[in-house]
Amino acid sequence: MKWKTEYLEFNTGRKIEFVRITERVEKLVSESGEKEGLVLVNPMHITAAVIVNDDEQGLIGDYKRTLERLVPYNADYAHNTGEDNAAAHIWRQLMGHQAVMAITGGKLDLGPWEQIFYCEFDGQRRKRVLVKIIGE
């Protein structure tokens, strides 16, 4: 078994942002030379998520509106002492933490509409995403 570890860096322009990273992960998989295996994509921050879904702006807007309705950013949270990011922590848990994708024939094995997104819920500062490629 072989593995490769890489990091993607982000500093989003907005506090809440969905960034498609499919091409960046595909490039790392290609560079790794792995033909069969898995790739783990893990945001290394507790106010961000990685998801796999359709790259459609209406859907991304639906996510944001639904999360804001369920967990409003401006509500009175016990965690908001010094920082105002309690909602970002909860949004991350609702959206999921990380994604594991299959590598088949040296490429990401994605469904027809699947794309990988880095979801930032407390942005405008430097953050990293771990990409761990495991295969043979």
Q: Which CATH number applies to 2-135: 3.90.45.10, 3.10.180.10, 2.60.120.460, 1.10.1200.10?
A: 2.60.120.460
Q: Kindly indicate the confidence band of residue 68, based on its pLDDT and cuts at 50, 70 and 90.
A: very high
Q: Among 13-27, 45-59, 74-88, 94-108, whose mean pLDDT is lowest?
A: 74-88
Per-residue pLDDT reduced to its tens digit, 47-66 = 999 999 999 999 999 999 99
Please list the helix, strand and coil fractions of the chain in percent, rounded to the nearest 5, in that order: 25, 35, 40
Instruction: State the average pLDDT for the chain.
Output: 96
User: For the chain, what percent of residues have pLDDT higher than 90?
Assistant: 91
Q: Are the CB atoms for 20 and 129 separated by under 8 Å?
A: no
Mean pLDDT of the 98-115 span? 97
Rg (C-alpha) for the chain, rounded Å, is 16
Domain residue limits, the chain: 2-135
CA distance linking residue 1 with residue 111, whole number of Å: 26
pLDDT attached to residue 128: 96
Q: Where are the alpha helices (DSSP H) in 5-136?
A: 22-32, 57-70, 86-95
